[in-house]
């Protein structure tokens, strides 16, 4: 079953597994769009959490399709790899986070694939990401990627490749949980300074009482199973989605 979003209908949304490549690596994504929307529309890349490309990433792609976009839930790990344990998730995420060349090439492969879709206007592309994926889209903005905008939901703010003055072309929205213990006050301050020094167009919104992974309804079960400080927050989930909707309307 496709979940299209808060109070929206799913009957017109088409979602399908797709495959594209980066070098010799097969990347297994998921493309979603509304069949009733006529003409070309903006395309949105959805970058998964550290668990890998899973149903949660696909759900968000379908929700974006419900808003009238064509969305591609990407595969940054390759071969559709998914983690069932935080140790594996951390290993997979580190392999990508620590290698900017691979990160760039796999993101660009996804973006090129999305731009080629019949329903997509290739001049209007944005990216959203969750946790690990939030850090990825921020790094793409830092690199000067030709994106209209990026949205990070409870994503990492640190980087080995800080933005250079004038390099950031994408507008940026960061949706951050007030009680996210994975990110320190010092890291937030350093990120905001980095963006100011780079003259980036940044919106940084903090959601009250929200922990890390506050948008994912499975966060509570992960927290209990693995004893990690995650938590779903329905109010912050809905508000951050609304904030993203307004941000996307603004950039497109």
Residue with tokens 């970058």: 47
Identify which of 48, 165, 24, 1 has the alpha carbon closest to the alpha carbon of residue 105.
24
What is the pLDDT, as a whole number, of residue 3?
55
What is the pLDDT, as a whole number, of residue 11?
72
What is the pLDDT, as a whole number, of residue 10?
66
What is the pLDDT, as a whole number, of residue 12?
84
What is the pLDDT, as a whole number, of residue 138?
98
pLDDT in tens, the chain (252 residues): 455 554 445 678 999 999 999 999 999 999 999 999 889 999 999 999 999 999 999 999 999 999 999 999 999 999 999 999 999 999 999 999 989 999 999 999 999 999 999 999 999 999 999 999 999 999 999 999 999 999 999 999 999 999 999 999 999 999 999 999 999 999 999 999 999 999 999 999 999 999 999 999 999 999 999 999 999 999 999 999 999 999 999 999
Residue-range domain boundaries for the chain: 13-251
How many residues in total does the chain contain? 252
What is the pLDDT, as a whole number, of residue 6?
47
Task: Indicate the CATH number of 13-251 among 3.40.50.1820, 3.40.50.10490, 3.40.50.1000, 3.40.1160.10.
Answer: 3.40.50.1820
**With the CA atoms of 217, 182, 71 and 45 taken in that order, what torsion angle do they form, in degrees rounded to the nearest 10?**
-170
């Amino acid at each position: 079953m496709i979940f299209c979003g808060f109070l929206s209908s799913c009957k017109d949304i088409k979602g399908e597994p797709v495959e594209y490549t980066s070098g010799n690596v097969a990347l297994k994504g998921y493309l979603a769009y509304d069949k009733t929307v006529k003409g070309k529309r903006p395309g949105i890349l959805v970058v998964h959490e550290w668990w890998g490309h899973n149903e949660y990433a696909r759900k968000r792609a379908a929700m974006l399709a419900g808003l009238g976009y064509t969305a591609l839930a990407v595969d940054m790990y390759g071969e559709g790899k998914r983690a069932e344990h935080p140790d594996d998730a951390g290993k997979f995420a580190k392999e990508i986070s620590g290698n900017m060349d691979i990160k760039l090439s796999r993101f660009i492969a996804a973006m090129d694939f999305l731009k080629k879709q019949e329903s997509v206007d290739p001049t209007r592309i944005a990216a959203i990401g969750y946790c690990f994926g939030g850090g990825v889209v921020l790094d793409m903005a830092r690199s000067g990627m030709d994106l209209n905008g990026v949205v990070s939901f409870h994503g990492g703010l640190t980087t080995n490749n800080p933005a250079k003055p004038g390099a950031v072309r994408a507008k940026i929205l960061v949706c951050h949980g007030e009680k996210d213990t994975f990110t320190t006050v010092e890291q937030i301050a350093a990120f905001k300074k980095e963006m100011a020094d780079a003259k980036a167009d940044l919106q940084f919104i903090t959601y009250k009482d929200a922990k890390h992974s506050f948008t994912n309804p499975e966060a509570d079960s992960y927290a209990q199973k693995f004893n990690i400080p995650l938590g779903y927050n329905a109010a912050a989930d809905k508000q951050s989605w609304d904030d993203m909707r307004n941000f996307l309307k603004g950039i497109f």
